[in-house]
Amino acid sequence: MKRLEHAFVWMNGWVLILMLTAMAVIVGYNISLRYLTSHSLPWADEAARYLMIWLTFSGAGLILRTGGHVAITNLQDVIPSTAQKLLRALIVLTLLGFFVFMVQVGWQYAQRMQYQVTPALRLPFSYIYAAMPVGFGLLIAHLLLIAHPFVMSGSYKRLETDDTDDGVLPGGANG
């Protein structure tokens, strides 16, 4: 199971790296082209925008697994240990319910937008809106992978390479 989780995290990280690289190359090339030739690519801003949308939704799960999202822990810090576990279990169940709901809503949006195309790239908007159910699906997977240690001790997985951790970023770039 640890190997499968490691492969999942590794692949999710590499997809994010590739999307960020593509976005940087497109924007950088467009800026260079604009200043060197006074022309620009008509689709570059649109492509960068859609890559940013996909990056945001696809990367949220990796941030969730490390505890990188905003959290207010004042209540948890003042209640007894057993109540803390129950509160964290309630948080996990609430997040899971919300994520499942958002997968459904995202899927509906993607289906509704299948016949409308983007102005410059002429892609169906369903490809852009698909970032929502895919991203929330990834959030569900990451949440399920960290749920037990989070509920039991309030700990998150680290993205470092050591003997006790299975979450490693691709290319050895650890945070």
> What per-residue confidence (pLDDT) applies to 1?
82
Q: Which residues make Cβ contacts (< 8 Å) with residue 167, sequence separation at least 6?
A: 5, 6, 9, 65, 66, 157, 158, 159, 160
> What per-residue confidence (pLDDT) applies to 157?
75
Structural domain span for residue 155: 2-172
Q: State mean pLDDT over 155-160.
A: 69
Q: State mean pLDDT over 97-103.
A: 98
Please give the model's pTM, rounded to 2 decimal places. Answer: 0.86
Give yes or no for a contact between 151 and 85, defined as CB atoms under 8 angstroms apart. yes
SS (H, E, C) 46-110: HHHHHHHHHHHHHHHHHHHHCCCCCCCCHHHHHCCHHHHHHHHHHHHHHHHHHHHHHHHHHHHHH
Q: Total domain count for the chain?
A: 1
CA distance 160 to 175: 7
pLDDT reading at 37 higher than 50: yes
- State the pLDDT confidence band at 175, using cuts at 50, 70 and 90: very low
Predicted confidence (pLDDT) per residue in 46-78, tens digit? 999 999 999 999 999 999 998 888 888 889 889
> What per-residue confidence (pLDDT) applies to 155?
79
CA distance 3 to 166: 8
